[in-house]
């Protein structure tokens, strides 16, 4: 597309635009670099490198004197708010040609997105997913910096997928992404609100602001189908969003459009009543909390036109989501489970899910809290772990720029008992598996699928499941 057409500016350089990018490292000759101030860097400081790398033009926010006399550098008023429209225009409105399911909420986004995609693929629909597990067309996770990519990268990815025959996309709409406009310009067909509990208050500062950021998915994007957790008081409080036509999902018997009865928690067996039909299904998933995830995912694909019997069969074929109550090892004398739980609510749900089994041994919980994130949840998580577990090991998560010991001290403020403290996560995992008695369960919480540990700003290779598997082998060999 011609730059003049793209930005509706006859005085702009008469050049063709290949792509828009916010990152000079991803820039290729023929691209337009969008120079905006960011949280860590100011894109306007990279104008010269962008032009040197072959950018045909640079778009920047007006209001800052750049002291340049170069027609390729174009100031655009309100540029940040226009990025979604520009990307949508350049890439040919790709989301309008796809069926897009977007999930928001504190916990469960990744599971709903993954389960939705699994079922759509089972019904023969080529489906991509975007979120915590990366941007992918299959079940293999990829590393990603953000749950939701920037606005320009998102539209570009959707265009590529559309051009390669992808029909559906399921994505996570994080509160950061919604607040920062990373989904701008997107057409959303189905929106899902999983739940709301404390998280990211380091960014949003209040629960009200946090909730309002998530509600943007429904208020600003106006998906045709709106699915929500009818058992979550913080979610149902916003009745204006759940007007006529919204689909509430309840697991506790609330008056909702979709009701679910948990017949068995492990493996998960459910009875469902929906506007499309009633049924019973048995899955390979575990935990009562997954009942909502399955129900919401089924509601999403049914809203897209999948036949009920087809959806039921697809749900019965679901595979567990990587890093979510993921069992490690087979045939060992203890049980080891890895889970991504990194909020107070998620940690309690994971512990309760593990305790739903008839395991007679003690429950060990190993966890830490991320650095440079809401410090207020640390003591809460300490309280939950010490209240529900028999043995607790407090360790490091991703300390980032913070002192691991300082984070642990914050966690210990919520502990009445005296948990074991081992700041080295690898050593903590080794300790738990070595000290657990026959029949015990070890829950390793916080990092789930992650393949790194971020310490002092450096990402080092680390995976909880791999570490646990190594120590289980050593235990068996001893």
List the single range of 67-76, 237-246, 331-340 with lowest mean pLDDT.
Answer: 67-76
Residue 64 has what pLDDT?
63
Vertex 158, ends 20 and 44: CA angle to 5°?
A: 20
pLDDT(417) > 70: yes
Tens of pLDDT along 371-401? Answer: 999 999 999 999 999 999 999 999 999 999 9
Tell me the mean pLDDT in the region 133-162.
Answer: 86
The residue ranking higher by pLDDT, 143 or 92, is 92
Q: In the structure, what pLDDT confidence band is assigned to residue 142 with cuts at 50, 70 and 90?
A: low
Q: In the structure, what pLDDT confidence band is assigned to residue 469 with cuts at 50, 70 and 90?
A: very high
Residue 359 has what pLDDT?
74
Residue 41 has what pLDDT?
85
Residue 77 has what pLDDT?
86
pLDDT(68) > 70: no
The residue ranking higher by pLDDT, 255 or 179, is 179
Tell me the mean pLDDT in the region 175-195.
Answer: 96
User: How is residue 210 written in tokens?
Assistant: 């946090």
Residue 273 has what pLDDT?
97
Q: What is the dihedral of CA 172, 177, 183, 189, to 10 degrees?
A: 30
Tell me the mean pLDDT in the region 329-348.
Answer: 94
The residue ranking higher by pLDDT, 140 or 264, is 264
Tens of pLDDT along 82-125? Answer: 999 999 999 999 999 999 999 999 999 999 999 999 999 999 99
Q: In the structure, what pLDDT confidence band is assigned to residue 62 with cuts at 50, 70 and 90?
A: confident
pLDDT(67) > 60: no
Whole-angstrom distance, CA of residue 438 vs CA of residue 173 = 42
Phi, psi of 355 (to 5 degrees): -75, -10
Tell me the mean pLDDT in the region 444-466.
Answer: 97
User: How is residue 256 written in tokens?
Assistant: 């909702």
**How does the average pLDDT of the chain come out, rounded?**
94
Residue 148 has what pLDDT?
84
List, in order of start, the domains of the chain with CATH numbers. Answer: 3-77 (3.40.1390.10), 94-316 (3.40.1190.10), 326-477 (3.90.190.20)
Helix axes 151-163, 79-90, angle to 10 degrees: 10
- Burial label for 322, CB within 10 Å (0-12, 13-18, 19+), is middle
């Amino acid at each position: 597309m011609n730059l003049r057409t793209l930005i509706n500016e006859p005085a702009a350089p008469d050049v063709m635009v290949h792509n828009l990018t916010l990152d000079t490292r991803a820039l290729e000759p023929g691209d337009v670099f969008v120079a905006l101030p960011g949280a860590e860097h100011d894109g306007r400081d990279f104008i010269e490198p962008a032009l040197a790398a072959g950018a045909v033009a640079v778009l920047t926010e007006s209001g800052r004197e750049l002291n340049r006399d170069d027609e390729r550098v174009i100031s655009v008023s309100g540029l940040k708010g226009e990025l979604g429209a520009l990307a949508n225009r350049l890439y040919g409105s790709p989301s309008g040609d796809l069926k897009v399911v977007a999930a928001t909420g504190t916990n469960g986004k990744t599971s709903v997105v993954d389960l939705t995609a699994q079922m759509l693929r089972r019904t023969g629909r080529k489906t991509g997913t975007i979120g915590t597990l990366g941007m992918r067309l299959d079940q293999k996770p990829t590393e990603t910096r953000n749950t939701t990519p920037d606005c320009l990268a998102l539209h570009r990815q959707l265009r590529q997928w559309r051009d390669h025959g992808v029909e559906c996309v399921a994505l996570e709409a994080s509160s950061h992404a919604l607040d920062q406009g990373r989904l701008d310009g997107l057409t959303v067909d189905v929106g899902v609100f999983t739940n709301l509990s404390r998280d990211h208050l380091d960014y949003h500062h209040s629960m009200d602001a946090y909730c309002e950021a998530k509600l943007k998915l429904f208020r600003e994007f106006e998906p045709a189908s709106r699915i929500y957790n009818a058992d979550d008081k913080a979610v149902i409080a916003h009745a204006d969003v759940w007007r006529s036509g919204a689909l509430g999902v309840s697991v506790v018997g609330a008056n909702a459009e979709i009701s679910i009865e948990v017949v068995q928690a492990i493996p998960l067996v459910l009875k469902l009543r929906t506007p499309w039909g009633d049924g019973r299904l048995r899955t390979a998933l575990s935990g009562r909390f997954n009942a909502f995830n399955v129900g919401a995912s089924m509601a999403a694909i049914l809203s897209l036109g999948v036949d009920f019997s087809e959806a039921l069969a697809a749900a019965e074929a679901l595979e567990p989501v990587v890093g979510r109550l993921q069992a490690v090892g087979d045939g060992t004398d203890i049980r080891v489970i890895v889970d991504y739980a990194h909020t107070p609510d998620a940690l309690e749900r994971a512990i309760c899910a593990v305790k739903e089994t008839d395991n007679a041994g003690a429950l060990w919980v190993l966890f830490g809290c991320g650095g440079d994130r809401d410090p207020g949840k640390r003591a809460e998580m300490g309280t939950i772990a010490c209240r529900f577990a028999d043995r607790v090991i407090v360790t490091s998560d991703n300390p980032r720029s913070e002192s691991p010991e300082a984070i642990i001290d914050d966690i210990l403020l919520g502990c009445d008992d005296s948990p074991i403290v081992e700041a080295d996560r690898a050593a903590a995992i080794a300790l738990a598996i070595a000290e657990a008695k026959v029949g015990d369960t070890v829950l390793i919480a916080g990092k789930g699928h992650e393949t790194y540990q971020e310490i002092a700003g450096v990402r080092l290779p680390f995976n909880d499941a791999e570490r646990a598997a190594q120590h289980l082998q050593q235990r068996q060999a001893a």
